[in-house]
Amino acid sequence: MTTADETTDPNAVPARPAMRRPLPPELIERGECPFDPPAELGRLRGEGPVAPITLLNGARAWMVTGYREAREAFGDPRFSSDKFRHRDALQLTPEEVAAGTCPHAPESATPSGHGLFIFMDPPEHTRLRRLLIGEFTVRRMRALESRVTELAVELIEDMRAAGNRADLVADFALPLPSLVICELLGVDYADRARFQRSAAVSLNFRLPEQERLRAGAELREFMRELVASKRAAPGDDLLSGLVHGDADPALTDLELVDIATTLLTAGHETTANMLALGTFALLEHPEQLAALRADPALVDGAVEELLRYLSVLHLGTTRVATEDLTLGGVDIAAGDTVLLSIPEADRDPEHWPEPDRLDVARPRSPHLAFGHGVHQCLGQQLARVEMRIGYAELLDRLPGLSLDVPAGDVPLRTDMIVYGVHELPVTWR
């Protein structure tokens, strides 16, 4: 059984990695089509799969837009994910850049990320991921299919009972994965307003940093209370299993809080936005929607195609080179920051024919929506189950599903680290 460590104050930890996103607006803002990556990314790809960019803080970095190069960087251990040991260029203030602060200088020889395994390198990352990976196997996720279906049907029937109009985000896309991850972790769904608000604020990169950090601290306090309750009264859930497990060394409360916060946030934010954005894309491509309705067996491939065609991680994944190396024919110096543009890499014409076309019958091929390598998304199989069932039930139970507003009036989440739509007003017959 794990034991509480001495640090129970959720704020008594080293500072979380700053989530500044000093990216030029042309690398963030979408054009007329809400599903296409920013046009500037395509222009950069024309310069080569790895191209230099200048951030708004004055720092230099590399943008990786080629599929092969992004996949290589994801899998290369010489690119570090550890934002505690290696600050990347996006974390620097303009004053630090002007002063010549070295962004990659290790701040500590020991890890300080506690349970934030997404910001760790092996062996620390390996230790924590190994404790979790058994909970997210294909077999276990398939065992959840009946429960996910039950939840999806309940949500849709609630929508139908209220009339023939709804906001698909609030009424379906957000609650479905939230309900599932809450049941997995042992979180009371009645507390959703508390953790969803804190998560949304912490992921809004346009808000003042202090406001986002405060929201992150509130979310961690929520999780600290949950860990304490599981320690006192365990249940049959993933978090109780971690709290009372036989990890060696035992997980500390700080590690448990970080792990639970990461799983809860990622477990509802990303899939919720893929469900809503994917439905939006299908409604705007009626021939693809019709093909999927005509042959429901296409749904598995449609999920993979939507994951490729859309990317909710639209701001890029960052890595720091720990030694001099070459990527895509470009020399990268130790300490350089690279941004791996998943939206653009998954539209690479060297890897896919007609990459800018949505085709639900496209033969399946590997994509980078879930990353690659040791940090490949832990919950990808759960996300696939939720998306497959979610799309299938929507199309089956809501005949004539269509937008209830002009497409241009759908509010896009260009202000968020996780892309998607803030609302999706729909109607049906």
Positive or negative, the CA dihedral 204, 210, 216, 221 is negative
Q: Which residues contact 278 (CB under 8 A, 6 or more apart)?
A: 306, 310, 387, 391
**Where in the chain are the domains?**
25-427
> Does residue 167 register a pLDDT over 90?
yes
Residue with more model confidence, 45 or 194: 45
pLDDT at 278 over 50: yes
Rounded to an integer, what distance in angstroms lies between the CA atom of residue 66 and that of residue 64? 6
| pLDDT value, residue 14 | 42
Q: Show the tokens assigned to 252.
A: 């500390």
Give me the CATH topology for the region 25-427.
Answer: Cytochrome p450 (1.10.630)
Determine the length of the chain. Answer: 429
Percentage of residues of the chain with pLDDT beyond 70? 92
The pLDDT score that the predictor gives to residue 100 is 83
Higher pLDDT pick, 108 / 156: 156
Cα(5)–Cα(356) distance, rounded to whole angstroms? 51
d(CA 66, CA 70): 6
Q: Report pLDDT digits (tens) over 200-227.
A: 888 888 888 889 889 989 999 999 999 9
- Share the mean pLDDT of the chain: 90
Residue range 385-414, pLDDT digits in tens: 999 999 999 999 999 999 999 999 999 998
CB neighbours of 102 closer than 8 A, spacing ≥ 6? 335
| Long-range CB contacts for residues 160-166, cutoff 8 Å, separation at least 24 | 160/397, 160/398, 164/427, 164/428, 164/429, 165/404, 165/425, 165/426, 165/427, 166/425, 166/426, 166/427
Residue with tokens 């004055």: 58
Q: Give percent helix, percent strand, percent coil of the chain, each to the nearest 5.
A: 50, 10, 40
Residue pLDDT, tens place only, 346-388: 999 999 999 999 999 999 999 999 999 999 999 999 999 999 9
What is the pLDDT at residue 107?
A: 52
| pLDDT at position 399 | 94
By DSSP bridging, strand 337-340 and strand 60-64 are parallel
**Mean pLDDT in residue range 423-428:** 98
Averaged pLDDT for residues 22-30: 89
Hey, which of 23-37, 126-140, 165-179, 215-229 has the most confident mean pLDDT?
Answer: 165-179
Residue 390 three-state SS:
helix
pLDDT-derived band at 108, boundaries 50, 70, 90:
low
- Inform me whether the pLDDT recorded for 135 exceeds 90: no
pLDDT at 73: 98
pLDDT at position 20 is 54
- What is d(CA 76, CA 340) in angstroms, rounded to the nearest whole number? 13
CA distances from 314 to 174, 379, 413 (A): 19, 18, 10
Average pLDDT, integer, range 140-152: 92
Determine the average pLDDT of the residues in 154-163.
98
At residue 113 the predicted structure's pLDDT band, cuts being 50, 70 and 90, is low
Does the structure show a pLDDT above 70 at 334?
yes
Mean pLDDT along residues 82-102: 86
- Is residue 147's pLDDT more than 60? yes
> For the residues 78-93, what does the mean pLDDT come to?
90
At 90, the amino acid letter reads L
